[in-house]
Every structure is written in structure tokens, then in C-alpha cells.
Amino acid sequence: MGSLFLLVSTAFFLIPLILQTCFMVSGEVKCSDQKVKCYDWNVEYMYWKPDCVESLVMGINGNFPGPTITAKAGDTILVNLTNKLHTEGVVIHWHGIRQLETPWADGTAAISQCAINPGDTFLYNFTVDKAGTYFYHGHYGMQRSAGLYGSLNVDVADGSILINGKGQFGCSLGGEFITKCSQDIDEQCQPEVFNIQPKKKYRVRIASTTSLASLSFSIGHHTMTLVEADGNYVQQVEVDSLNIYSGDTYSVLIETNQDPSTNYWISAYQIARKPPLPLRPGLTILNYKTNPVLDAPSSSPLPSTPPVWNDFTGGKSLTPLPTPPVWNDFTGGKSFANKILALQSDQLTIPKPPTSFDRRIVLLNTQNNNNGYIRWSINNVSLVLPTTPLLGSLKYGLQNGLDSEKPDEDFPSNYDITKPPVNPNSKYGSSVYKFDYGITIDVIIQNANVLKPDTSEVHPWHLHGHDFWVLGYGEGRFSSDDESSNLNLKNPPLRNNVVVFPHGWTAIRFVTDNPGVWPFHCHIEPHLHMGMGVVFAEAVNRIKRVPSGVLECGLTAKTILEDSITSSDPLGAPSPSPSPGGVPRLGPMWAVNLVFIYLVYVGYMFVN
């Protein structure tokens, strides 16, 4: 496993990276420094054909998806972000980056910062402290669903390849062939082809930016060796497929040891939620470079019967389509999750969790009805974020900036998680769980039945600002028996994203060593905006002066002006002008419904 730290990589560019803009901030940080990566981005709407049907999507500098950021551990990232959306605010969350000592750069509207108003510019300034596979995405309204996302790889080759956003709406390279589907397709939705050399080893980086669906990912006839999950090394385990939930990131190794005269499918099938029929997986091609370069699809209509695809591949054959997984095989999903264990070796050992906890919070995840609207709730509270960022309200002691009521840390002992709630009503709230510095927190996420009988859903949960130990998964209601028999304290993996299975529970543990205000929420985008989340406030008194421009909205705008924190800040954050009334403009929470199969990143690097 130590050889992973000595990989010699070669970049393969199919999508150009954004040119870095040489601007200076704060005198001490210069874009000319080798350890500083500078980007100048404009977020704007544009017409694009990600599925061969023109849609209005969010892009960065005229590109969809956004540009790839490549860096090495310890590098400083400077992103000068200008909002050109005209009618709504924007923020960007750096998914998986812990933001040590920069909690204001987390990119969560109404929690870590004010939304960046139309026409304003904001500088994200943070350090990537740990190698791994990450990504970034909008964290305001439904902007991730609208296409605002991109890849962030740390300590990798200078380049990666994206296959998301490629395919045909209502059609699939491997689905049923219908007359409306034509191969006269736009360059924006042609499938990517991954060209590889035989008898080599490649690292494949995968990140799921899906807004709703979970995926089963496989590479035909190639066994994958899982080596990384959410930026942390894991014990090597060979798998034929990966279960990927929204927010997950993985690295796998593959050896190109198959017949080089044949091409192979890379596939992503929907799981955990019943897929529409006919099945339309996300597909692209793994091509051995001993074959001629693959021709583009012909302009003739697709045949009425499934082809062998010889014409499409320039005369070379393709292996049969992969067998679709059983979408509701949760036993298999749990088996895969339990295979992921922390790396313990002579070269590198992932830290073990503390043997006990100081405080335990049990979060009951339910579907509820609030004023006639279906909502998701945690301990009967549906999260609604305030207009004043919680970081500012807590730092400046603004009592009116959030709910003063202390949130519940458990749920009634007589609650039956296998049935719809007896009283489906819930309430709105923005209360915060407050933690002292340096204590050990256990969180049990308890999944329950939805409003429909005999139904419970999969939920991937993401914690900002932290990695956590995944202590275990279980069925039914969590109990003291689970604590003694089903929790792994020996080699639990460190992650920032974790799945909770239907009618089950997931246990995590973390140490409060990163002062800030951190959301913990379901990464399914509609579920978050329907209330499925909580907020952890961690040793806010230890946070140093917050850069100007971060909190200039809501109640904190006046406080900042009174405290004269509008002068040049050593961290170099510019000061966008507040919107009228000091409250951020709330944009429409809409989504371009990109088909789930197109929301997978795949980057790869060559290994000697």
C-alpha cells in the first residue's frame, strides 16, 4: 500500500482546465507561489445539452460541469467567485474539505456565510490539508441539481477526465432502441471514451454529485481494488461493483489485463430507489489503445433491434452489457458498506476512535406533514435556515438570529420506527446543537418509516468540517445490545459521508477539534431543502476574527459595521455590498432534472 505515495502520474486532458488568473491578495499570499492555486470564476446560466435536450443550466466560465481543481495537500486554494445569475444568490461548498481554521469558507448559505448577491464577488481562501478525492457544488437552493458542481482532486496528476453530463435524454447506449433516439448527437452529450494502455495499473477516482439517485458502478470484466473512501485510505478490497450514494467519493485501482482487442463498458445503474423502465444506465467505454481511436457515432438513426455495436466502435467489438443490479438489494448494500475498513499498515495507520463518548445524540429521521406540505424532520423538527448566518449569530451572541430552544437529543422510547408516524405533524426550527472543544460526540442516525406504510428510504448523510468514524450499521431501532455487539472500535473507516439503510441505524463518532458551525444533513438535495438536517456549533468562542464580507447580511451586517470590521482583512476576503435591507436575495429553488446516470465523475491517472 505504501507504493500509493510514490505514484508517477501522467495527465490526460479531454476537458481543458480554466486558465489561472494571476491576482494578488493580502500581500502575503501570491498566485505566483507554487503552493497557491488561483482561479477566477463567473457563475452564470447558460443553455447546454447535457442529455441532448437543450436546458438552462448553471455553469462556470461558460463550462458545464465546472473546471477541475487539482492541488497537493497543503496548497492554498483561492477562488474569486463572481455571481452573474442576475436574480439569485450563490455559494459553493467544498465537499470533504475540513476547512481547518477557515470555517467561514465552507460555503453554506445561512450557516457559514451570506449568499453572494448578483453582481458581487467573493474570494474563497482555504487550504486543502489532506490528499483525496473531493468535489465542489452549489449549496444554496437547488443549485447542485441545476449543474453547479465540479471536481476537486488533491495530490493527483495535473488533470482528470469527467464523464458526467454525457448521454441522450430518454435514450441510452445500452437501453432499448426506439425510433426517437438518434445518434446524430451534439458534442455536449457524446459519451466519453477512456483510452488506456494494456498491462498497466490505473487509479480511477469517482465522486457522486447526484441530487437524488444512488448508483451501482462497475467496469466490465475488470475487478476494482478499493483503496480510498472520502479522502481516507481503506484496507484494500476487491469488488466487482461499487454502491455509490450521493456525496460519496472513492478511488479504485484497476489492472488493464483483459483482451486488448475488445472494448469494455463502464456502467452506472440506479439502485436504492425503483428505477424507471426500460433501464437506462449511464454508459461509457473503456478502450485499449492498441485499438484504433474510436470513431464518433454515425449520423444514421439507431437500428430497430439492439446492435452489436461493431459500427459504433470503429470495427472493434464490445463486451455484452453488464447485468443490472437488483435495485433494492439492501443486504448486498450493507455487505459492501461493511467491507470498508480503515487502513492499518506499517506505512500508514488511520487513527482509531476514542474508546468512549462524552455525549450521544440520537437523530430520528421521519417524513412528516407540515401545514399540508410533506417535509422531512429530525426529532420532529424540520430545518429551516435563518436569514442571518448562524456563524455570525453565535459568534456575536445575536439571540434573535436563531431559535433559542434546545434541540432534542433523543426521541420517545415508544416510537415505532416500522410504521408511519401516529401524529405526522412536525414543526419548523433552526436550533443548534452546541459542543465544547475537544469532546467526543456519538451520533446515531435512526431511519424510520415514511408516511406510506411499509416504506423507508435510503439516506446518505454528510458532515461538514469533519471526518468521522463509521462505527457500524444495524437494522431496526438502535439499542444497548447494538452498542456492545455491533459497533466497530478496532478499525472503523474515516469518512465524511455515510449511508443510512431503510428501517435501520448508522452510528458515527467524531471529536470536536475544528471550531465552526457545521451542517449535518442528508445529501439528497430535495430532502435537505425539505428539512432533513441539523446544525452543530463547535467551540465558536475559539474562532478568530471572521473576514469581512462573510457576514454582511441579516442581523450581522449592522454588528459588523458597528465593530468596524470592514477594513482590509489579513485573510484577504473582499467585501461584497449587502443587498437591500441587508438580507440576501432568495433565488428560486428549481432544478434542471439531469438524468441520474450522468452525475458521476471519473478521473484517472497512469501508474508506472
Task: Compute the distance between CA of residue 94 and CA of residue 400 in angstroms, rounded to an integer.
Answer: 29
Q: How confident is the model at residue 155 (pLDDT cuts 50, 70, 90)?
A: confident
Task: Compute the distance between CA of residue 216 and CA of residue 336 in angstroms, rounded to an integer.
Answer: 11
Between 591 and 523, name the one with better pLDDT: 523
Rounded to the nearest 10°, the torsion over CA 244, 148, 95, 379 is -80
Tell me the HSE value of 169 on the side-chain side, using a 13 A CA sphere.
Answer: 13
Lowest mean pLDDT among 249-253, 261-265, 486-490: 261-265
User: What average pLDDT does range 561-580 have in this prediction?
Assistant: 41
Q: What angle do CA 165, 297, 267 make, to 5 degrees?
A: 45
Q: What angle do CA 546, 552, 553 make, to 5 degrees?
A: 130
pLDDT per residue over 525-557, tens digit each?
A: 899 999 999 999 999 999 988 887 899 888 888
Q: How far is CA 391 from its chain centroid?
A: 22
pLDDT per residue over 572-591, tens digit each?
A: 343 333 332 332 322 322 22
With contact defined as beta carbons under 8 Å apart, do 361 and 433 qualify? yes
Between 535 and 324, name the one with better pLDDT: 535
With contact defined as beta carbons under 8 Å apart, do 24 and 41 qualify? no
Question: What is the DSSP secondary-structure string of 253-292?
Answer: EEE--S-TTSBEEEEEEEESSPPPSS---EEEEEEETTSP
12 has pLDDT over 60: no
Integer angstrom CA distances of residue 338 from 263, 397, 488: 32, 43, 10
Sign of CA dihedral 25, 31, 35, 38: positive
The SS3 call for residue 196 is strand
Task: Compute the distance between CA of residue 294 and CA of residue 313 in angstroms, rounded to an integer.
Answer: 5
Task: Compute the distance between CA of residue 549 and CA of residue 603 in angstroms, rounded to an integer.
Answer: 34
Task: Compute the distance between CA of residue 355 and CA of residue 333 in angstroms, rounded to an integer.
Answer: 27
Cβ count near 271 (within 10 Å)? 26
Residue 517's H or E segment, with its range, is: strand 516-522
Between 574 and 325, name the one with better pLDDT: 325
What is the pTM for the complete model shown? 0.79
Q: Supply the mean pLDDT for the chain.
A: 78
Integer angstrom CA distances of residue 243 from 213, 271, 329, 331, 445: 11, 8, 11, 12, 20
Cell of 436: 465544547
